[in-house]
Structure formats: structure tokens, C-alpha cells
A = this chain, B = another copy of it.
Amino acid sequence: MGEVGIVSFGHTKYGILKDDTSNLIGSVVEECLSRVEKGIEPKEIGLVITSCADDQFSNQHQTGALALRYLKNLDAEAFRVEAACSSGSLAVYLARKMLNAGYVDNVLVVGFEKMSRLPTEVATSVLIRGGSPEENRIGITQPAAYAMMAQLYMEKYGATEDDYAKVSVKNHNNALRNPWAQFHKKISVEDVKSSRLIASPIRLFHCSPISDGAAALLLSRRPRDYTDTPVYIKGMALANDTLGVFERDDPTSVAATRKAAAKAFKEANIEVKDIDFAEVHDAFTPVELMIYEDLGFAGKGEGYRLIRDGTVEFDGALPVNVSGGLKGKGHPIGATGVGMMVEIFLQLRGEADQRQLPDVEIGLAENHGGTGATSVVTILGR
């Protein structure tokens, strides 16, 4: 496959915003177009793919067609895709497929979610849809499902509540440098451990928040027509697993991420040691340690060592979630995967301002749906 390049982006602040679905989509579409360094005409964009997790949040069907209003090209094709929390990366995945097949030359991807439209108790009943029907039926919410994984991981491998808390502390620290982040609040291990218990061992400060937000990317088959400094998708894969945690042989691993990572590394023809930094799916911070293992950053049962020894800190050897992650930056579901790639785009171009990492050439994004029934792993490079 040829290399598809990212040439521009749009990104709102993440948080509780006044904007509705239309405003969110419109603002990132217009920003993304206006940032194209060598300029682009709407008619050059043949396809728009939107992503959001839930219609009850967006209160809008056919958001693809809605995005065309802001693109100002009704002759482009448009549709929406969904795979729960991995919806944003799914949109990029399909955009790349359509580009590599030569169906279109440029695709605009728009991820968004308007979660604060609903009261929190209703939002919880929406979010439970990310799990299996059986989990849903007996009231196993997303934090409860992740709690089972986190509890088992502690028992089997010796991770501690302090390890889990340190992931939250790291990601909040990183969010301090990110103007788009929902939280700009330094927290301590003690703050996390004394926060409200949600589903043991998961506490409030392990949980990503209810967020509104949007992110857009412009992808091209001929990226140098639009910028001298594109970021290329070197490898990318989507993989699936069972919907329910209870159906899995090993609930301490996100098998879909493991499968997708293997494929993405193979396609990119690189090894784990070549990865300079990563954005991963810390919807609940304990899972970040398991993802280190599924991506090959650490051996099985050894992920927590990377948070203990500082490897994954901002100034460590392999920084993870320098954006603040889902925990610190926020998690407007359909935007999340797209926003991860915006972060990597900026880092690789040296445009990440006060959170810029030195000398980075290869970044990885890991974005999974629910507790991992869908996962997309993307490897990006200059």
C-alpha cells in the first residue's frame, strides 16, 4: 500500500462546552480547511467520514451530510461510522482504506461527541451500551467491567493501587501542558486513593470524564500537494474480540489491541523499540498498564514497572499520553481516536508547544472500544 499522509487538522477544547453537535462539527471542519498550508478547494475533498459513539448524545443522524454543509461541497460522499470508543480511529482506518484503493484523493475525518447533552445518570445508561448485552442487562457499567480487569491484574501480577494512581497523576500532570485538556489540575497519589470509590479498585480519579469535543484530520494520497511536512500512516490495523469481559480467556489483556499491534508493526516494518512515544486508551487508568503489555512495551505482567521506574513519564524514555490522555485531556468519545492522531501529528512536526517532546520520529496511537471488543492501532511517522 502507498503511504497516506495527514496534512491538516482541527481540534476544539475538550470539556463541558456550550457548542451543540453542529457547532462542534462545523468548527473543526472549518479549522481543518483553513490550516491547509498550500490551500485546498472543497471540491478536492471527495469523502467525509464522521464518527460519534451514540445518537442519543449527538441528537443527529447523517452527521456525514451535516459536515458537508461546512465543507461547502455537496458533491462529496459522506457517512458516519461507530465502534463505541474506537469510533474515531475507525473513521481514520476507513479513510485510509478508501485512499489506498484510489477511490478518492482526499478524505476529511471528523470525530465528535456531545456527551453533556444528557444528565449524567442518562449518560451512564448510554455508555453501558459499549459492553456486551449480558453485562448491560445485569448492570455492569464500563467502570465495573474495567474494575474486574484491574482487580484480577493486581491479584495475578502484583500491581498495586499506587501503580494505578500514578497513571492518573502522570496523565493529569501532562494535561497541565495541553491547552485543549479538560482538566488543568495537579493531583497526587493520595488524592486518587482518597477519591470516591466507584467499583473497587476503581475510584473517581481513575475515570475519564464526560466530555464534549471534536477533532478533524485531512488525509491525502498526495500529501505534498498540501503541505511540505505531512505525517504518514506507516502502519494501521483494526482487530476485534468478544464484547464481554466475561467471555475472554485472559481479562488482564486487551486481545484486540494485541492483534492490531502485531499487524500494525508488521505493516510499518518497525519494532517496538522504534516507537518514540504513544497515545493510549486510558478510559480507566488501570488499563493503561495492560496496554503497555499488549503493545509490547513491557512483558506480560510487567506493565506496572514502566510507571514505577518513570519510563512513561513526560521526560522518560517512552512517554505515554503526553496530551493528558483520556483521563486528563478528556474523552469526547467519537473525537478521541482522531484527537490522539492530532497530538501525534503535532509532536512529529515539532508544533506541540509547551508539551513538545524532543527528537521524536515515530508515534503510536492505541484506541479501543468498550473494554476492547474493537481496537485500532496506528503507527505514524514523518
Using CB atoms and an 8 Å cutoff, list the residues of chain A in contact with chain B.
20-22, 53-56, 58-62, 64-66, 68-69, 74-84, 90, 94, 97-98, 100-101, 103, 126, 129-130, 132-133, 136, 238-243, 259, 369-370, 373-374
Contact = CB atoms under 8 A, between A and B. Distances in A.
A242 B129 CA distance: 30
Contact of A126 (B55, B84, B100, B136): B55
A75 B74 CA distance: 37
Copy number in the complex reads 2
Nearest to A102: B101
Instruction: Tell which of A100, A133, A239 has the most Cβ of chain B within 10 Å.
Output: A133
Contact of A66 (B66, B80, B133): B133
Contacts of A374: 62, 64-65, 78-79
A130 B61 contact: yes
Contacts of A22: 133
A240 B64 contact: yes
Contacts of A64: 83, 240, 374
Contact of A242 (B54, B74, B76, B242): B74
A61 B94 contact: no
A367 to B, nearest CB: 13
Contact of A56 (B55, B65, B81, B84): B55
